[in-house]
């Protein structure tokens, strides 16, 4: 069961779409297939775009959340009445091991990750830099 408060950190480009309140969608729904990188090195990233990624970490921790350092990130809180959200640890067994290993690289905290494929309402909170 997810904690009572979950967060989503996103880039300025997504902030421009979401604004102060909005609805998160899996990233794969926001890009065309031709825009997904074709390299096998991007397989984990492309699979990850099938989900909405959330965390119980209120403060930005780029290593724990597998975010690129040196960037600005906007923080959103999941709004009350959100759809069911699943701990990543319950989803990971259905994913290829090589993908899980790449996503859960050194320094990450996958026990603090939660996912869903269903749109999630969010409310803007703040921003920070990695």
pLDDT at residue number 116 = 95
Secondary structure E strands in the chain: 7-10, 21-24, 52-55, 72-78, 86-87, 113-116, 120-129
**pLDDT per position as a tens digit, 21-37:** 788 888 776 665 555 55
- Cα–Cα distance measured from residue 20 to residue 51, given in angstroms and rounded to the nearest whole number: 22
pTM for the structure as a whole: 0.84
Q: Determine contact, residues 123/76, Cβ cutoff 8 Å.
A: yes
Each domain of the chain, given as residue ranges in start order, spans: 7-129
């Amino acid at each position: 069961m997810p904690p009572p408060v979950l967060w989503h950190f996103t880039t300025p480009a997504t902030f421009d779409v979401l604004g102060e309140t909005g609805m998160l969608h899996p990233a794969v729904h926001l890009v065309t297939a031709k825009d997904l990188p074709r390299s096998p090195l991007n397989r984990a990233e492309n699979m990850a775009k099938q989900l909405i990624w959330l965390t119980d970490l209120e403060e930005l921790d780029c290593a724990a959340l597998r975010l690129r350092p040196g960037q600005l990130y906007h923080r959103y809180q999941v709004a009350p009445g959100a759809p069911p959200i699943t701990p990543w640890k319950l989803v990971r067994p259905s994913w290829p091991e090589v993908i899980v290993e790449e996503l859960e690289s050194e320094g990450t905290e996958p026990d603090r990750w939660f996912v869903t494929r269903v749109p999630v309402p969010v409310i803007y909170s703040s921003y920070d830099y990695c």
